[in-house]
Copies of this chain bind each other. A is one copy, B any other.
Amino acid sequence: MAVGMFDSFITRGWFDPEAAALWNETATLQAWLDVEAALAAAEAELGLVPQDCAEIIATKARTELFDLADLEKRIATAQHPFVPVLAQFAALCGEPAAGFLHLGATTQNIFDTAASLQMRSTVKLVLDHLDETLDALCALAGRHADTVQAGRTHGQHALPMTFGFKLAGWIDELGRHRARLAERFSESFVASLGGAIGTHAALAKDGAEVERRMAARLGLQPAGLAIRSSYDRVADYLSSLCLIAGTLEKIAGDIVFMQRTEIGEVSESFHLGKVGSSTMPQKRNPSTALKLVSLCRLLRGRLPLIAEAMLRMDEGDSSATNVTDVTVPEIALFAASATAMLRDLVLGLNVHPDAMARNLDLTGGLIVSEAIMMTLSAEIGRHAAHRLLYDVAQAVQSENMPFAKALRDRPELHRLSAETLDALLDPQGYTGASGTVARSIGWRGEVQGGSDPDLAG
């Protein structure tokens, strides 16, 4: 019977199955074994381990050879998560190979390096999801480069813009996240082989070279000074990963708002059979967007745990590593699943330009009062123009009058011809750089052909 959100049948569907496959118990065990095999192979290159022993170790480093039920029991007895794995591994290898397992390593070296491998695959998924999202958004921005929509600040109509411009803002922000995640990976998730306290005591002068060769075999950078109580590299990266939640949640929030019954400017993909409520048959909820908000809250919510896990007594501290051992997989799954969810949301998004136009007209031109003020500034000074427009705009709101008429009643406005004023009052004419930006936005350049060499593995 599954207990947690990733495993229960009720919520399992929230999570990207590819990401889940990277972090399930078998995948984690396999990652540990892969690191042990790479360690033995690296040591064999240096003559520290006989070549045939390293080969046996590689052969036996397969989860399907392990007895998981037995492992679970022995982990409980030993109160140690890895020594029982080593014992089974040793039994599988037999002597003399067994004697060369884990040479110069400590458990945390294996776990940290394995997490680097699992995280690399996760980041590839995240980047793929972002790429697909960005491609879809760029196409959509092009299509709606000139679809005029109310720009809003503080919940109020501010200035006109185009929907493509709004999308350009999303693209810009997502593109920067993507670039940061790709650029920073290799220096953040490294291969570690410092031994018990980072001094390479058990390997003497060979420690650093073993670490380098092990790292090379795994496609990772070596840790260098592999001290177990330094977690700044991973914490820095994970904070970048958690912060994508800020952007995704902002976008999801915009979509939830734009799908509001009263707004109706966009709507999530719908299919017959999708249900909004057990009691209200009419409901078409933005359920994917709301679920995305939830995932983002969970993702952001893990950030303080990571920062706190940098605090490690002395040369090693399981009170911190226990936390990261269980929280890093959660962050990985949240990030991969949230980006997949955004992609699906964007791919299925319906846009309703008619609703955008309808909403834009709601204020009878108040939304372009800045345009009139700017034009009038040239005539009567900016300060006077602001005051005049403020007086008129506030009066029409208090008294529920048409803005255009109120303007025409003011003598100062007579300096502007009727045509000029009409033109100024048309929201379509005051979208600034919206269209240009929406048409020119792109993000591919930043990834140099779409490949991420540092993540090649």
Contacts and interface: CB of A to CB of B under 8 A. Distances in A.
B275 A83 contact: yes
A232 interface: yes
Contacts of A82: 278
Contact of A314 (B4, B236, B257, B373): B257
A207 to B, nearest CB: 6
A256 B172 contact: no
A24 interface: yes
A382 B100 contact: yes
Contacts of A293: 319
A335 interface: no
Nearest to A384: B99
A13 B3 CA distance: 13
A25 B6 contact: no
A243 interface: yes
Of A102, A272, A276, A304, the most chain B CB neighbours within 10 A belong to: A276
A291 B11 CA distance: 27
A43 to B, nearest CB: 13
A69 B2 CA distance: 13
A394 B281 CA distance: 8
A145 interface: no
Nearest to A261: B157
Contacts of A303: 239, 303-304, 307
A86 B383 CA distance: 9
Contacts of A451: none
Given A25-B10, A156-B283, A366-B282, A323 B307 contact: no
B246 A285 contact: no
A318 B290 contact: yes
A58 to B, nearest CB: 17
A305 B315 contact: no
Given A72-B12, A154-B316, A369 B250 contact: no
A422 interface: no
A191 interface: no
B153 A202 contact: no
Contact of A246 (B6, B107, B231): B231
Given A1-B21, A282-B403, 14 more contacts: A3-B23, A5-B329, A11-B325, A77-B273, A102-B278, A103-B382, A153-B197, A154-B283, A155-B314, A159-B197, A199-B437, A200-B433, A281-B389, A285-B318
